[in-house]
Structure 1
Amino acid sequence: MRWQVQEAKQRFSEVLRAAEGEPQIVTKHGQEIAVVLDIDEYRRLRGEPVGFMSYLRADAVAGDEFTVERSRELPREIDLGE
């Protein structure tokens, strides 16, 4: 979402709430001048360590896909010495 400076100042609480879902771009005279983003996303971009729950929340917001590929092969046979 894009916000003009005046609108962003008047509706700052709304800008902050929206930033929890996706970065909010602030413009001045049509030029992008700032971005308001979630603190967990900011820390991730800076490479700062985050807690496990924060990581999970940030990952869902970022839209990164987390998939686990499981092998479809049968398990190997093991000789138990019988």
Structure 2
Amino acid sequence: MWTLQDAKNKFSAVVDAALTGRPQEVTRRGKLAVVVVSATEYKRLVAEETAHRESFAEHLMAFPGTEIGRADVKPRDVSF
């Protein structure tokens, strides 16, 4: 794990480590901020996520139920 300042000072080492297949975590103010991964790993992760994602239309069509009931409410009296 690298602090942001160390990662900036030794960016080549961060990139080299990520290229060897070891994701590099970088913290800012003591909290995990980013993870540096190789471009190959990033593309693999994106492709894997996209492969399992359904389209918005498929999501809507998967709605459980055929009809949505309406509330039984009476309008209120309005006088002008």
- Note whether the superposition's TM-score is higher than 0.5: yes
Report the counterpart of residue 64 of structure 1 in structure 2. Answer: none
Deviations 1:51-76 (A, max 9, x none): xxxxxxxxxxxxxxxxxxxxxxxxxx
Deviation at residue 29 of structure 1 after TM alignment: 1.5
**Cα distance in 2 for residues equivalent to 1:39 and 1:47:** 12
**Any idea what SS the aligned residue of 2:27 has?**
strand
Report the counterpart of residue 11 of structure 2 in structure 1. Answer: 12
Deviation at residue 34 of structure 1 after TM alignment: 0.5
The gaps in structure 2 that reach 5 residues or longer are: 49-80
Report the counterpart of residue 41 of structure 2 in structure 1. Answer: 41
Deviations 1:10-65 (A, max 9, x none): 000000000012100000111000010011100000108xxxxxxxxxxxxxxxxx
Work out the number of aligned pairs and report it. Answer: 47
- Answer with 1 or 2: which has the greater Rg: 2
Q: How does 1:20-59 map to 2 (within 5 A)?
A: 20=19, 21-47=21-47
**Cα distance in 1 for residues equivalent to 2:22 and 2:39:** 11
Paired-residue identity, %: 47
Report the counterpart of residue 74 of structure 1 in structure 2. Answer: none
Question: TM-score, normalization: structure 1?
Answer: 0.54
**Any idea what SS the aligned residue of 1:47 has?**
helix
* Root mean square deviation of aligned Cα: 1.2
The gaps in structure 1 that reach 5 residues or longer are: 49-82
Structure 1 residue runs of 4+, over 6 Å off? none
